[in-house]
């Protein structure tokens, strides 16, 4: 997908004719070619305007670039502070800016149109049909929680992932909260939860007054380590206090390894809540991510692979669990000719308008998965041979959506430094989630490592970076990110 700028396509020597320099300009579509000496060092830039002025002054197309006057080029040096590019362009009123190494050899040419637009980590990407579902809801005055779009969205999503039942709610967090409530989690209970995740996986444990116990990741998937889970479950069994539930998270679009996880949880009789907020569209051994636990949840927050601006879904094959979830999420209002309640409920149902957005988004989910995977593939290709990056491993048991392309820096490079360099070029990258067992909120919570001396989650946090991964990134965006990454990483090396 990515076609890297091949810098040699832009290099011309002084014996190059004006005719072939013009042809190079046209082919490269960068608005500039670079005149270099015998050692490949930049002498000056040559633009369309430069050549046109020569021709108007009577030069012939067969003359060489030797007729050009000397003109010390405006450049930035790699390692340059990348954020300077736009400032330098503004100061010298140029739209192209060569990047050169310490000996003056060109590495890249930055274009104004590429350096001044913000690239986000993961932004919403609407399809063609959302508007018609939303319009229909407004036209028919279904501007309320619940309504035909909610029913249809639940059914369509359940069919898509191949599960019996689904309840649409206001957020993924609300769906996790309902799941724990349905499993009877309450004060004094413990709930096991992946440590390497967003805080939304664990907050509902606190909502229910229960105690979280965090489980490390395994290196092969970055998801819950079966080894650590086994120790946690057997320790709990030994003291006669089995956990009430296990929240297993599927990180960055990749499923956890459920065969060993479910075998352990079955053995100890503990139900699994599958936090598939980040993995809708992924698979595990032919089954859809989210459908492997007793209950599963998805998120439709604005940064997820599909969005309703904000929303979530609770799914299960157990129809009773899901109808009870619908009851609890409408204030646990009972069937009576007046407002009657015997237990605490929540206002968690999705609105009919937002469900309309969800229906449109579901129709483009397969395309979004393909685009996110293509983004990952273009990073792999564009950064091939850079051994200071290691990609999040892709497990062979299924297909990851690569919701976010994540990598680790090797050789002691600092993720914060890389992220700052990209930010200076208006490219948003983020650290990998800070594990829950390192959060002040959960200070003192028990934690089970993958190995005695191996805290995988902490290590991934220390070295991990998430790169822009939106399904709406253009090829030019990806070129810009890849080039910025190359510069940032190579400059670190020197």
Ligand X SMILES: *Cc1c(COP(=O)(O)O)cnc(C)c1O
Kindly tell me which of 438 and 476 has the beta carbon lying closer to ligand X.
438
Kindly state the number of chain residues that form the binding site for ligand X, as judged by CB under 6 A.
14
319, with CB counted inside 10 A (0-12, 13-18, 19+), is exposed
CB of 232 to ligand X, least distance (A): 19
Contact with ligand X (CB under 6 A) among 145, 290, 296, 312: 312
CB of 354 to ligand X, least distance (A): 12
Interactions with ligand X, residue window 313-342 (CB under 6 A): none
Contact with ligand X (CB under 6 A) among 2, 96, 122, 197: 197
Residue 299 contacts ligand X per CB under 6 A:
yes
Contact with ligand X (CB under 6 A) among 130, 227, 275, 479: 275
Residue with tokens 């407004």: 138
Residue 249 contacts ligand X per CB under 6 A:
yes
Residue 173 contacts ligand X per CB under 6 A:
yes
Kindly tell me which of 76 and 314 has the beta carbon lying closer to ligand X.
314
Contact with ligand X (CB under 6 A) among 96, 171, 308, 352: 171
Kindly tell me which of 172 and 293 has the beta carbon lying closer to ligand X.
172
Interactions with ligand X, residue window 89-128 (CB under 6 A): none
Kindly tell me which of 154 and 425 has the beta carbon lying closer to ligand X.
154
Stretch that binds ligand X, among 43-51, 168-176, 386-394, 481-489 (CB under 6 A): 168-176
CB of 25 to ligand X, least distance (A): 46
Contact with ligand X (CB under 6 A) among 108, 114, 216, 278: 278
CB of 312 to ligand X, least distance (A): 5
Residue 172 contacts ligand X per CB under 6 A:
yes
Kindly tell me which of 382 and 464 has the beta carbon lying closer to ligand X.
464
Kindly tell me which of 45 and 197 has the beta carbon lying closer to ligand X.
197
Contact with ligand X (CB under 6 A) among 110, 191, 200, 273: 200
Contact with ligand X (CB under 6 A) among 36, 46, 270, 277: 277
Kindly tell me which of 89 and 169 has the beta carbon lying closer to ligand X.
169
Binding interface with ligand X (CB under 6 A): 171-173, 197-198, 200-201, 249, 275, 277-278, 299, 301, 312
């Amino acid at each position: 997908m990515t076609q890297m700028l091949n810098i040699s396509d832009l290099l011309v020597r002084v014996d190059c004719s004006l005719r072939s320099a013009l042809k190079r300009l046209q082919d490269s579509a960068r608005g500039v070619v670079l005149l270099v000496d015998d050692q490949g060092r930049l002498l000056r830039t040559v633009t369309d305007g430069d050549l046109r002025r020569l021709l108007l002054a009577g030069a012939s197309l067969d003359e060489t670039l030797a007729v050009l006057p000397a003109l010390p080029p405006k450049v930035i040096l790699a390692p340059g502070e990348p954020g300077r590019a736009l400032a330098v362009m503004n100061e010298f009123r140029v739209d192209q800016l060569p990047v050169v190494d310490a000996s003056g050899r060109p590495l890249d040419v930055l274009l104004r149109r590429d350096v001044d637009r913000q690239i986000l980590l993961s932004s919403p990407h609407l399809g063609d049909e959302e508007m018609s579902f939303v319009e229909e809801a407004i036209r028919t005055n279904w501007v309320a929680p619940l309504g035909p779009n909610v029913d249809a969205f639940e059914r369509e999503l359940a069919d898509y992932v191949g599960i019996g039942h689904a309840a649409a709610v206001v957020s993924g967090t609300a769906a996790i909260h309902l799941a724990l409530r349905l499993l009877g989690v309450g004060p004094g209970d413990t709930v096991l939860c992946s440590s390497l995740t967003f805080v939304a996986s664990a907050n509902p444990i606190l909502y229910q007054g229960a105690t979280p116990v965090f489980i490390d990741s395994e290196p092969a998937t970055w998801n819950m380590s079966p080894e650590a889970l086994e120790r946690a479950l057997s320790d709990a069994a030994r003291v006669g206090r089995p956990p009430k539930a296990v929240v297993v998270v599927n990180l960055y679009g990749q499923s956890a390894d459920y065969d060993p996880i479910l075998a352990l949880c079955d053995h100890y009789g503990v139900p699994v809540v599958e936090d598939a907020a980040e993995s809708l569209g992924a698979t595990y051994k032919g089954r859809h991510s989210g459908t492997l636990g007793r209950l599963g949840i998805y998120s439709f927050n604005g940064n997820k692979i599909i969005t309703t601006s904000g929303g979530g879904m609770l799914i299960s094959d157990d129809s009773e669990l899901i109808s009870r979830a619908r009851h609890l999420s409408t204030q646990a209002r009972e069937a009576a000719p007046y407002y009657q309640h015997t237990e605490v409920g929540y206002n968690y149902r999705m609105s009919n308008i937002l469900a309309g957005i969800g229906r449109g988004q579901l129709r483009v989910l397969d395309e979004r998965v393909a685009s996110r995977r293509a983004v990952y593939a273009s990073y792999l290709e564009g950064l091939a041979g850079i051994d200071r990056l290691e990609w999040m491993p892709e497990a062979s048991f299924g297909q990851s959506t690569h919701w976010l392309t994540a990598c680790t820096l090797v050789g002691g490079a600092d993720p914060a430094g890389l992220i700052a360099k990209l930010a200076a070029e208006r490219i948003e990258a983020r650290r990998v989630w800070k594990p829950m067992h390192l959060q002040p909120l959960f200070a003192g919570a028990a934690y089970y490592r993958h190995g005695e001396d191996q805290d995988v989650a902490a290590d991934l946090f220390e070295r991990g970076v998430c790169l822009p991964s939106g399904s709406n990134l253009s090829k030019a965006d990806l070129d810009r990110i890849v080039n910025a990454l190359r510069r940032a990483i190579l400059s670190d090396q020197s």
